[in-house]
Structure 1
Amino acid sequence: MRTQTRTWLLLSLLLCTSALAEPLRLVTGDNYAPFTGKALPAGGMLTQVVHAALAQSNTDSTLEWEPWNRGYLKTLRGEYDATFPYVLTPLREQAYLYSAPLLMVEQHIYSRAVDPIDTVDPELLRGRTVCVPLGWQPPAQIQGLLEQGILSRHSPIGIKECARLVLIGRDDFFVADRRLGDTALQLIDASDGQLRRSTAMISASSLHLIVPNSHPRGSVIIAEFNAGLDRLKVSGAYQQVIEGYIQSRALTQSTP
């Protein structure tokens, strides 16, 4: 009987080790330059950060590209282990565990130079249309105005489309991190005389890797990822990745 018990314990350990050795199944979305994108070097700034952090913790991974909503829902259903990059929201926090921040972002308003919008002023924005890419969560101030019916929302597939729609006057403005928004303006060849970024940021937030609360190893995945991300920052490699993407002209050259 004792021998049989030892055999079952050994088998359980082997099965556990096998499960832990399986590559982490990641999914992200396209057209989120410079953070993620199929055509970007290494899949984008934050794709490279995620892979580098996993390498620091000796975690193998696979990466699939899905439309944002689909990848999010498939991760929630357990078809993927983790997805990125996402902003923390109360609703999302009920369903997902969050990693340490991949990047702190500064949200700015982007509008036409002939019709500038610099602040989240309800009276100024009444009746306007904000462009928010499909699957994105707008900042809390903007979300509040949408819920009150002060603003209307239009949701194309990506941030580059938002920049183009604001440029032609279909929408009035979009909100994005300054690096992301400036890149979108470059991608549509918009000049300073056409589209502009607000002088001050309207909010600050962070982007994260997220794992479903229901995942049996969710806490372990987050803990190991955070440890790898911390080692990446201590080594100086994290800052090299971030600065390299900000300074690189490859963004405009590699994106159609």
Structure 2
Amino acid sequence: MQGRVFACLLLSVALVSSAVADSWRLVTGDDYAPFTGESLPAGGMLTQVVQSALAAAGISNTLDWRPWNRGYLQTLRGDYDATFPYVRSVQREQEYFYSEPLFTPQQHIFSRAGEVIEVTDIASMLGKRLCFPLGWQSPPVLQQMLDRGQLVRHSPAGLKECAKLLLLGRDDFFISDHRLGLTALQASGAPMSAFRRSTETLSSSALHLIVPRSHPRAAAIIEQFNEALAALHASGEYQRLIEDYLQQLDKH
């Protein structure tokens, strides 16, 4: 009996060790500056965080770039071990486990100059056209308004399209992290004076690395990544990476 218990323990250790030894297959998407992007330094701020945490923990990985929806579905069917960065949603929580937060952006409302739309003034949003990219999860307060028919949502491919649609008058506002929104506005080619950013912020939504619940090593991968991320925080390296990256952005 003792021999059988010992054998089971060895098997458990072997399974956990294999999760460490294998190269993790990661996937993310493009055009999500400053968080991810093929043309960004280090692939984006959160790509750098993820890969720095894994490197410090001695976990090798490969990273592919795919359209967001394709990468999400390919991870779900087992082509990849994990994908990032994603906010929580009811549907995703049914399909994926979430890591500890990679970063918690502060979301603002961006509208046309002269059109005041504020988070604290619900009436200013009633009947408006919200531009929110395909696959993005709406903040709860806005989702409730959408469900009640108080807002109309338009879902183009990305925020750059949203900025252009605002200028054309086809949509009224979009929601975004401060720096992500500014990047989209700059990409539109219009002067910053053509837009307005809300003074108040929406409730923040953390971004995570996610692993399919169906993955045979899901629990081990999430545990290992969380430990690696915690070590990055404890060493002070996480804060240094974030501050250095944001300072680089502010210089451009």
Give the match for residue 199 of structure 1. Answer: 199
- Give the 3-state SS of the residue equivalent to 1:166 in structure 2: helix
On the 8 A contact 1:86/1:207 being kept in 2, the answer is yes
Q: 1:34·1:251 contact (CA, 8 Å) conserved in 2?
A: no
Q: Do the aligned residues in 2 keep the contact of 1:26 with 1:81 (CA within 8 Å)?
A: yes
Q: Does the 8 Å contact 1:41/1:250 carry over to 2? A: no
- Which AA in structure 2 matches 1:85? P
Partner of 1:235: 235
Give RMSD over aligned pairs: 2.6
Q: Under a length normalisation based on structure 1, what TM-score does the superposition of the two structures give? A: 0.87
Distance 1:212 1:251, change over 3 A: farther
Measured after TM superposition, the shift of residue 37 of structure 1 is 0.5
Q: Name the stretch that deviates more: 183-192 or 27-36.
A: 183-192
State the 1:21 CA deviation: 2.3
2:82 and 2:211 in contact (8 A); partners too: yes
Displacement of 1:81:
0.7
What does residue 187 of structure 2 align with?
A: 187
Segments of 5+ residues of structure 2 without an aligned counterpart are 1-5
- For residues 81-92 of structure 1, the aligned pairs below 5 Å read 81-92=81-92
Deviation at 1:77, TM superposition (A): 1.2
Deviation at 1:83, TM superposition (A): 0.6
Instruction: Give the share of equivalent positions with the same residue, in percent.
Output: 57
Q: Summarize the Cα distance change of 1:64–1:251 in structure 2 as closer, same or farther, 3 Å threshold.
A: farther
- Post-superposition Cα deviations, 1:22-68, rounded to whole Å, max 9, x if no partner, equal 21111111100000001101110000000011112211111111111
The Cα offsets for residues 127-178 of structure 1, whole Å up to 9 and x where unpaired, read as 2111111111111111111111111111111122212221232210000111
Decide whether the 8 Å contact of 2:129 with 2:154 is kept in 1. Answer: yes
Corresponding residue SS for 1:85: strand
Amino acid at match of 1:164: K
Residue range with higher mean Cα deviation, 151-160 or 35-44: 151-160
Q: What's 2:3 paired with?
A: none
Partners of 1:241 and 1:15 lie apart in 2 by: 32
How big is the shift at 1:122? 4.5
Residue of structure 2 in register with 1:73 after alignment: 73
- Checking the alignment, whether the CA contact within 8 Å between 2:107 and 2:175 is kept in structure 1 is yes
TM-score of the aligned structures, taking structure 2 as reference length: 0.88
User: Which is further off, 243-252 or 175-184?
Assistant: 243-252
| 8 Å Cα contact 1:35/1:47 also seen in 2 | yes
**Cα offset, 1:179, TM superposition:** 2.1
Q: Distance in 1 between matches of 2:208 and 2:12?
A: 33
Q: 1:245 to 1:123 in 2, by over 3 A?
A: same
**What is the aligned partner in structure 2 of residue 56 from structure 1?**
56
Deviates more, 1:132-141 or 1:111-120: 111-120
Aligned amino acid, residue 35 of structure 1:
F
Provide the secondary structure at the position in 2 that maps to 1:176: strand
Q: Residues 150 and 10 (structure 1 numbering): CA distance in 2 closer, same or farther, change over 3 Å?
A: closer
Pairs within 5 Å for 1:130-149 = 130-149=130-149
Distance in 2 between residues matched to 1:36 and 1:154, nearest whole Å = 23
Give the match for residue 129 of structure 2: 129
Query: Residue 100 of structure 1 aligns with which residue?
Result: 100
What amino acid does structure 1 have at the position aligned with 2:64? E
Q: Is the aligned partner of 1:27 residue 2:27?
A: yes
Q: State the match for 2:162 in structure 1.
A: 162
1:169-225, CA deviations, whole angstroms, 9 ceiling, x for partnerless residues?
Answer: 221000011121122223334434211110010211210000011111111111111
Number of residue-to-residue matches in the alignment? 247
